[in-house]
Structure 1
Amino acid sequence: MRYVAIGDSFTEGVGDAVGNDAVRGWADLVAVGLATAGQDVWYSNLAIRGRLIQEIVDTQLEPALALDPAPDLMTFNGGGNDMLRTGFSVDRVMGLAERVVERCAETGTRLVILSGGDPTEGLPRGKTIRARGNDFMNFTRDMLARHPEVAFVDNFSDEELRDGAYWAADRLHLNALGHARVAARVLTALGVETPLPRADDAVVAKRDILTEAKYVGAFVLPWIARRITRTSSGDGRQPKYADWVRIDAATSSAKSTNVTE
């Protein structure tokens, strides 16, 4: 199986840090899970944090489909960063998402679309963002009704995943447990039944005035500064797996790079 993932920070794996500025994330875990289930898995991940859906479609879709050999399976997520911006248009976002669906249909690539988890419990303007997310989900379901061949993994509606125990310190990205829960949902959708990890008795720090002030200084103000300066957290970054890497199930890692045999 040749599996390629495209998207933004959610698919790159931000929040699931593994040291030295490296991240893992649900897509890596899906590749390992498929290999553990007996598949011979080659994996590529072109996702880059901060990308809007237009950038994902324009810069990742065709390179993913042009990988040699061609991919059998693609996962796609996009639009989360768009929902945080003023001028968000669900019609425009869904038009771009449908382009991904149509191109995968043309190439015979199996497609799985994911929604991100719902982070709005802890975010400024959370109610507005959740309303946009709900509209996005309704439009997504309408689109997928026209494309029954596409699998959909709905993480936005997963109420358990809204618990703070699944989220990183920035409250916008899933932590290791959250990524593991998403991976389990994707693997199950692909026919590899995987139990859903749960937070159970995980303790989430209480939010007081000092905690909120530190949070704003560490995460909200830098985000605002990037919007003002029109920069992105993904500027200068390259995909972590731009070409096929073989997944070694025994060590849960990618073993070789730039291999097309």
Structure 2
Amino acid sequence: MQTNPTYTSLVAVGDSFTEGMSDLLPDGSYRGWADLLAARMAARTPEFRYANLAVRGKLIGQIVDEQVDVAAAMGADVITLVGGLNDTLRPKCDMVRVRDLLTEAVERLAPACRQLVLMRSPGRQGPVLERFRPRMEELFACVDELAARHGAVVVDLYGAPSLSDPRMWDVDRLHLTPEGHRRVAEAVWQSLGHEPEDTGWRVPAAASLPPGWATRRVADARFARQYLLPWIGRRLTGRSSGDGRPPKRPELLPYEMPATGDATVGDGA
């Protein structure tokens, strides 16, 4: 990997993780790690271009059908691909098909860019996700194999202690907080060969007193009512939170730095 390389363009492919949920901006849109990474890359490279094709709820088959060829045709220097995790969380999941589709995506994207970036997605601890962990780890083993075969970079978020900390996850327990997204942006930045701006992104935040029993029960009830039950309902009916939703940056265009400076990676908490 080249040290401090110059990249002129970035295309992000995937689902809600790459769209930026739950890094909510004041206008109601989502920012997320890919926007943060693009801001940092744009600060180094004049006329830097960025597209984000990711849409929440997408399965790997939808990513292949709707995003992969579009991304490949853009001819970007860097393409990030994170997908398949939504499949592993479905009640019925054909892991052979998931691996085949992920392989197809990588085989199309790797020749179309200077550097393909894959990820072992972060995973928090908890009973809801624990039953799906074997599938997740099977997916990540496939990611490692494909990266080795096609010269892709793998960003290991799954093995980062900081990102298993419940405080890095939003109240829906499925999406990272703004601080979690900041750490992911730093991880990808370093994996692309740039000098670290936060050498401790893997290190968990300082310990704090855990919430009491009553507070945890109230939070569990809110989570079940507002997030878990609707999520289960969508899984059982085959619906997705991203149905009919377009990507937020469908074209590879110059990235303009926000006037407020909020979309810089910056120092963490």
TM class by shorter chain equals 0.7 to 0.9
Letter in 1 for 2:67: Q
1:129 aligns with 2:136: no
Please list, as runs of the form range in 1=range in 2, the aligned pairs for 1:45-124 lying within 5 A after superposition. 45-67=52-74, 70-119=75-124, 121-124=125-128
Deviations 1:46-84 (A, max 9, x none): 0000000110011001112223xx322100000111111
- SS at the partner of 1:244? strand
Please list, as runs of the form range in 1=range in 2, the aligned pairs for 1:199-214 lying within 5 A after superposition. 199-201=205-207, 205-206=211-212, 208-214=216-222
| Residue number among 34, 44, 48 corresponding to 1:27 in the alignment | 34
Query: Matched residues in 2 for 1:253 and 1:212: separation?
Result: 32
Unpaired segments ≥5 residues, structure 1? 255-261
Deviations 1:202-231 (A, max 9, x none): 666455323211210011111122123321
1:163 aligns with 2:171: no
Structure 1 position 253, deviation (Å) = 7.8
Deviations 1:111-167 (A, max 9, x none): 111222113x1352x2222222222222322232222x2111111121221001110
Cα contact 1:123–1:172 (8 A) shared by 2: no
Q: TM-score, normalised by structure 1?
A: 0.87
- Higher mean C-alpha displacement, 222-231 vs 201-210: 201-210
Identity %: 37
Aligned residues: CA RMSD: 2.2
Query: Matched residues in 2 for 1:53 and 1:152: separation?
Result: 18
Could you say which residue in structure 1 is the equivalent of 2:141? 138
Unpaired segments ≥5 residues, structure 2? 1-7, 264-269
- SS at the partner of 2:132? helix
Q: TM-score, normalised by structure 2?
A: 0.85
Could you say which residue in structure 1 is the equivalent of 2:241? 233
Could you say which residue in structure 2 is the equivalent of 1:3? 10
Change (3 A) 1:250 1:9: closer
Query: Matched residues in 1 for 2:157 and 2:140: separation?
Result: 10
Cα contact 2:17–2:175 (8 A) shared by 1: yes
Cα contact 1:34–1:192 (8 A) shared by 2: no
Could you say which residue in structure 2 is the equivalent of 1:216? 224
